[in-house]
């Protein structure tokens, strides 16, 4: 799957997703309510296999708080960046992706320490 096919695959998962070509990676902006399901699809789909979460960054945008996830497929050498925001600065909360990538557990704690964003566990 090349970059164009990857972009088409991601667009096909949901119409509320914005995709743009970043300076280095494909950047996908996803609503907070859809982040976990998209992340899971990117990890589990045979054609994508994003098996490595190599960075989570918390971002203070002024009005909003956000989180940026850098994902890599070690099998296909794809890289994609997922971005999401919350407008709730008083009680910011996002779904955890630690059930998808174990390394997220530590990285999400770092974001909590920096910005106070709580990550909730998805019960399946």
Q: Please write the tens of the pLDDT for every residue from 58-86.
A: 999 999 999 999 999 999 999 999 999 99
* Mean local confidence (pLDDT), 17-41: 92
pLDDT tens-place string over residues 109-122: 999 999 999 999 86
Q: What predicted TM-score, i.e. pTM, was given to this entire model?
A: 0.93
User: Which residue in this structure is represented by tokens 């960054």?
Assistant: 57
For the chain, the straight-line distance linking the first and the last C-alpha, in angstroms and rounded, comes to 30
The residue with greater pLDDT, 21 or 68, is 68
Percent of the chain having pLDDT more than 70?
A: 98
Model pLDDT, residue 123: 58
């Amino acid at each position: 799957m090349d970059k164009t096919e990857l972009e088409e695959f991601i667009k096909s998962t949901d119409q509320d997703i914005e995709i743009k070509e970043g300076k280095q990676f494909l950047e996908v902006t996803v609503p907070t309510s859809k982040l976990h399901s998209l992340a899971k699809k990117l990890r589990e789909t045979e054609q994508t296999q994003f098996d490595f979460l190599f960075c989570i960054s918390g971002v203070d945008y002024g009005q909003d708080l956000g989180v940026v996830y850098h994902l890599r497929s070690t099998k296909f050498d794809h890289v994609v960046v997922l971005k999401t925001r919350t407008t709730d600065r008083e009680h910011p909360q996002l779904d955890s992706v630690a059930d998808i990538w174990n390394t997220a557990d530590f990285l999400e704690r770092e974001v909590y320490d920096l910005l106070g964003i709580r990550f909730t566990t998805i019960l399946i």
